[in-house]
Amino acid sequence: MPKFCIGGKTVIDEDNKRYNLTNQLQVSFVNKSQKINAEFINTCQWQNLNKKALLFGNKTEAYLLKCNLKNISKLEQFVISVEQPNIDHFEIFDSNYKSLKKTGDIYSWDTREFKESYPSFSLHLTKNSSQTYYFLV
């Protein structure tokens, strides 16, 4: 299953590719308690990240990351992960601003889809389709 990594390494092998999305992300800093909806997204001040790695640090604000994914492969299941341990909260929203999944250190280990030290979860993207996703970290 291909793996999209935020802040991770870029290459594995032909059958298990790893793509680093970090340099393709747009970022906006937001209040951690902000409700994610269309009205709010339209007011965000997006900046292109243009980096190979993203260090989250100890900010009082949350990172809202925006990524457009296009599936041109035969597969429809992918893994999204932030290859940094100690992420308290990692949440993904679809283009309709619906929360799809949450994970991180503040959630029980038993609730994690993947038993890894860094936040990861699977994502379905239909073949030959595109989708905008938002990640709240």
CB-CB neighbours of 65 under 10 Å:
24
Query: pLDDT tens, 76-119?
Result: 888 888 877 778 888 999 999 999 999 988 889 898 888 888 88
The domain segmentation of the chain, as residue ranges, is 3-136
Q: Quick one: 62 exposed, middle or buried, by C-beta within 10 A (0-12, 13-18, 19+)?
A: buried
Which pTM was predicted?
A: 0.81
Q: Do residues 1 and 75 make contact, with C-beta atoms less than 8 angstroms apart?
A: yes
Mean pLDDT calculated for residue range 52-62: 67
Q: Which letter does DSSP use for residue 27 in this model?
A: E
Q: Would you state the structure tokens that stand for residue 30, as one six-digit string?
A: 């937001």
* Helices then strands, each counted (H, E), the chain: 1, 10
Class of domain 3-136: mainly beta
Whether residue 123 is predicted with pLDDT greater than 70 in this model: the reply is: yes
